[in-house]
Structure 1
Amino acid sequence: MFRHITGLALIALGATPAAATSPIADILCEPSHTLAQKLSRQFGVTRFARGTQGPDQVMEVWTDESGDWTLVMAYATGKSCIVAMGKNWDKVQAENPA
């Protein structure tokens, strides 16, 4: 999935893979519903967690079974942007403080 989204970002931004220095050198933004459909249908990831970052922004973590993850910033305007991607996502169990 990581390679697919990197390729998608490069195509959408008109860059060639050889010119890219980082898989997230440029941020990919699309309407929220379009980006959510691409992430779930084309890349098989699901929204794992989310949290607010101010009144107009929500951070979302999308993951797949292989451990690839994508961090998406969703805005109140209806636009969402991929801001980070990586591998080896690991769900940490909450510890019992007792």
Structure 2
Amino acid sequence: MTRVLILLSAALSLGLAPFASATAQVPAGLPCADRAEVVENLGRIFGERQLGQGLADSGVVIELFVGPQGSFTIFATTPRGRSCLIATGEAWDPRPQEESFAAR
């Protein structure tokens, strides 16, 4: 829960609010931001890097970011570059190898 609060606080400090669009591609009520800002904040605040991604039937890209200590964040990113928080947590297994963080 603390991780979510930190992430939301960082988003709010950037002037972000929940994305309230009627577009079917973005889940209503979720905290969203520009993908570049999301990626930068995940790396800076939590040391997380993208570990994987996949294309959902709805057209959004589901992205998984994982930190070296096992923290993780899952986002849905629209074709317009808007990323919306789906889930955060700890103890992702298996943890990524250190060289996967150096390479990105």
Tell me whether the two structures share a fold, i.e. TM-score over 0.5: yes
Q: Higher strand proportion, which one?
A: 1
Q: For CA contacts below 8 A with separation 6 or more, give which structure has more relative contact order.
A: 1
Instruction: Work out whether 1:78 is the aligned partner of 2:56.
Output: no
Q: Deviations over 1:6-65 (max 9, x none)?
A: 223156278xxxxxxxxxxx6321011111111112321000111110262110111111
Name the % identity. Answer: 24
- Partner of 1:47: helix, strand, or coil? strand
Aligned to 1:95: none
Instruction: Work out whether 1:40 is the aligned partner of 2:43.
Output: yes
- Partner of 1:34: helix, strand, or coil? helix
Aligned residues: 80
- Partner of 2:93: helix, strand, or coil? coil
The letter for the 2-side match of 1:80 is S
For 2:37 and 2:73, the matched residues in 1 are separated by 15
The letter for the 2-side match of 1:50 is Q
Q: Deviations over 1:43-95 (max 9, x none)?
A: 21000111110262110111111111111111101100111011110029xxx
Aligned to 2:72: 69
For 2:93 and 2:45, the matched residues in 1 are separated by 22
Output the aligned Cα RMSD. 2.5
Larger Rg computed on CA atoms: 1
For 1:9 and 1:30, the matched residues in 2 are separated by 11
Stretch moving more, 81-90 or 54-63: 54-63
Regions of 4+ moved over 4 Å:
none
Structure 1: gaps spanning 5 or more residues: 15-25, 93-98
